[in-house]
Amino acid sequence: MEKTNTDELPLAMNSTEKQETVCIFGTGDFGRSLGFKMLQCGYSVVFGSRNPQMSSLLPNGADVLSYPEAAKKSDIIIMAIHREHYDFLTELTEVLNGKILVDISNNLKINQYPQSNAEYLAQLVPGAHVVKAFNTVSAWALQSGALDASRQALLKKEDPFSTSSAWLSDSYVALGILGFFLFVLLGITSLPSVSNAVNWREFRFVQSKLGYLTLILCTAHTLVYGGKRFLSPSILRWCLPAAYILALIIPCTVLVIKFILILPCVDKTLTRIRQGWERNSSYS
The answer to whether 101 and 124 have CB atoms below 8 angstroms apart is: no
Highest mean pLDDT (candidates 26-35, 105-114, 148-157): 26-35
Mean pLDDT of 29-55: 87
| Residue 58: CB atoms within 10 Å | 22
φ, ψ at 150 (rounded to 5°): -90, 5
Q: How far apart are CA 252 and CA 256, in angstroms?
A: 6
The residue ranges of DSSP E strands in 198-258, in sequence order, are none
The torsion defined by the Cα of 213, 216, 220 and 222, in degrees rounded to 10, comes to 110
The answer, yes or no, to whether residue 51 has pLDDT greater than 90, is no
In sequence order, the β-bridge partners of residue 223 are none
The answer, yes or no, to whether residue 194 has pLDDT greater than 50, is yes
The answer, yes or no, to whether residue 278 has pLDDT greater than 80, is no
The strand order across the sheet containing 76-79 reads: 63-65, 44-48, 21-25, 76-79, 100-103, 129-132
Dihedral sign for Cα 79, 83, 84, 90, please: positive
Question: Band of the pLDDT at 20, cuts 50, 70, 90?
Answer: confident
pLDDT for the residue 7? 45
| Residue 210: CB atoms within 10 Å | 15
Instruction: Label each residue of 99-141 as H, E or C.
Output: CEEEECCCCCCCCCCCCCHHHHHHHHCCCCEEEECCCCCCHHH
**Residue of 264 and 230 predicted with greater confidence:** 264
Task: List, for residues 237-253, the tens digit of each pLDDT value.
Answer: 666 777 777 788 888 88
The answer, yes or no, to whether residue 229 has pLDDT greater than 80, is no
The answer to whether 77 and 23 have CB atoms below 8 angstroms apart is: yes
Q: What SS3 state is found at 64?
A: strand
In sequence order, the β-bridge partners of residue 79 are 25, 103
Enclosing H/E stretch for 25: strand 21-25
The answer to whether 111 and 4 have CB atoms below 8 angstroms apart is: no
The answer, yes or no, to whether residue 18 has pLDDT greater than 60, is no
Enclosing H/E stretch for 79: strand 76-79
In sequence order, the β-bridge partners of residue 76 are 100
Region for residue 278 given its phi and psi (left: phi exceeds 0; alpha: psi -120 to 50; beta: otherwise): beta
The answer, yes or no, to whether residue 166 has pLDDT greater than 80, is no
Q: What is the pTM of this model?
A: 0.47
- For residue 114, the one-letter residue type is P
The answer, yes or no, to whether residue 155 has pLDDT greater than 60, is no
Q: How far apart are CA 189 and CA 206, in angstroms?
A: 8
- For residue 22, the one-letter residue type is V
pLDDT for the residue 282? 55
**Residue of 46 and 243 predicted with greater confidence:** 46
The whole-chain average pLDDT of the chain stands at 79
Task: List, for residues 59-104, the tens digit of each pLDDT value.
Answer: 888 889 999 999 998 899 999 988 888 888 888 889 999 999 999 8
Mean pLDDT of 167-196: 83
The answer to whether 125 and 119 have CB atoms below 8 angstroms apart is: no
Q: How far apart are CA 10 and CA 147, in angstroms?
A: 15
Mean pLDDT of 39-49: 89
